[in-house]
Amino acid sequence: MGRGPSIENRKGAEDARRGKLFTKLIREITVAARGGAEPATNARLRMAIDKALSANMSKDTLSRAVKRGSGAAGAEQLEEIRYEGYGPGGVAIMVDCMTDNRTRTVGEVRHAFTKEGGHLGADGSVSYLFRHIGVIGFETGADAALAEKILECALEAAAEDVTTDDGWTEVLSLPEGFEAVKQALLAAGLAPAQADLAWRASTTVPLEGAQAETVAKLLERLEELDDVQHVYANANVQ
């Protein structure tokens, strides 16, 4: 009988995932801090800090990232770039990156697309298929009363929509109303498991079987790239 991975190997893999997550969070904080080092007056920085704290990033690490971004500690020159393309089955994919080397990043992103049968497109080729929205998610499980409380509070705060599916409730808002809706939910004692601005597809492409597996590999390959912050796709796996 084969043996599973050792405790050391599992810990090493977990540490690697944690390190990659922290790198992405630090980059987000650094870039957000260019708009000002005070979270109270910089909504993007406030959101980036909230995500970092939720991932248990130390306040020292967080503070250093803010200082680098605000110019107090000589930040690396990170550039924000979006790549758009298509995967198998005509799935639309957007890849948001932060990089200090555009040539390296586009080469890695293009290689990932090509490896799984996709291809890069021109700027704007798929972004029109996505909508920028605030997403606040809660693990409600079978607690119907909790889901109802979230719904009532979200509607009072002028949220765009509320959906519940398979024990997960999402509150959607316009980007400009995201912080107000989030604060209203928190004030009601409702702590979200996720709160972020994201891009959601207006229409989806149904996939199944081998095609769905290939698209999943492509998305995973893109997400593993060091310069990639977020990957969005309009795939709907059947």
Domain boundaries defined on the chain: 7-69, 78-238
- The runs of H, that is alpha helices, within the chain are 7-32, 43-54, 59-69, 102-115, 144-156, 178-187, 209-223
Cα dihedral value 220, 79, 177, 23, nearest 10: 50
Task: Quote the pLDDT of residue 1.
Answer: 44
The CATH architecture one would assign to domain 7-69 is Orthogonal Bundle (1.10)
What gap in Å lies between CA 97 and CA 209, rounded to an integer? 29
Residue with tokens 């979270």: 39
What gap in Å lies between CA 83 and CA 44, rounded to an integer? 21
Task: Quote the pLDDT of residue 6.
Answer: 53
Domain 78-238 has CATH 3.30.70.980: yes
pLDDT beneath 70, residues of the chain: 1-16, 72-76
Task: Quote the pLDDT of residue 126.
Answer: 96
What gap in Å lies between CA 195 and CA 178, rounded to an integer? 9
pLDDT tens column, 222-236: 999 999 999 999 999
Q: How many other C-beta atoms can be found within 10 angstroms of the C-beta atom of residue 30?
A: 23
- Common-topology check for domains 7-69 and 78-238: no
